[in-house]
Amino acid sequence: MPAPPPTGPLVTRDTLAAGLRLLGVESGETLLVHSSLSSLGWVNGGAVAVVQGLLDALGPRGTLVVPTQTGDQSDPAGWRNPPVPEEWWDRIRATMPPYDPLVTPSLGVGVVPETVRTWPGALRSAHPQTSFAALGPRAREITEGHAPDCRLGEASPLAKLEKLGARVLLLGAGYDSCTAFHLAEYRIPAPRVQVGRPARGGGGWETVVEVSITSDRFDELGHDFERDRPVVRGRVGGAEARLFPVADAVAYAERWLGLHRPRQEGFPHPPV
């Protein structure tokens, strides 16, 4: 049977940039983007055209930031999708290549972040599991100094984005992917967890104690945030888009999580 025709709308670099400007993206700003390529429609040029359109809308003085997480840089004992046999665990730990910001691919965040990661001039932060990549004049300022024991807290690019007045763009992505909410988890009581991964620089396995982070109920948090705070909503191509300041999201999440999803300080749990 012949393949079904593509579903629209037809999106190009130019129409994407125009749609972003109409939504309110400003030339020269710093933008943290969570995206879904498939939600946009039929994009002529795919992820490359999306990155070009974002850069066009931001202009030469703007900075584009994306999450380039690597959840597979973790202890196989915690893998669930899919799990691996327990008899493999020790061998996996002994042979897993350590994180290299230049070559380790992102995982689970979509094709647009991976395209940004490999873009000429892109810089990437050093955390082996929750890195960010950036393009633009503020890329180095945002990505440098990402502490190896601070996934998404005060020593991560998120705190810098908050201070710089950056905004979040959810481009076909939901609030469950909004990393800015995680920064709030570091500012309220939270359990700690032992996080295992290949040792930096190679040679062995290491475990660090981290704040336990989870996106559980972030969809509810986002619903209430959008109800109570000014969030710009619109469509870019076929995707629903939302635009709001990082600082607003963090401040609101800090109050909301403390009230609706309280957790207790606690001793480290087994490695994940």
Q: What is the pLDDT of residues 147-168, one digit of tens each?
A: 999 999 999 999 999 999 999 9
| The pLDDT value given to residue 202 | 72
Q: What are phi and psi of 241, to 5 degrees?
A: -125, 145
Between CA 126 and CA 86 the distance in angstroms is 29
The residue type found at 154 is: E
| The pLDDT value given to residue 268 | 60
Instruction: Enter the tokens of residue 113.
Output: 């972040």
Instruction: Show the low-confidence residues of the chain (pLDDT under 70).
Output: 1, 3, 267-272
Instruction: Enter the tokens of residue 110.
Output: 């979509």
| The pLDDT value given to residue 226 | 97
| The pLDDT value given to residue 76 | 94
What is the reported pTM? 0.94
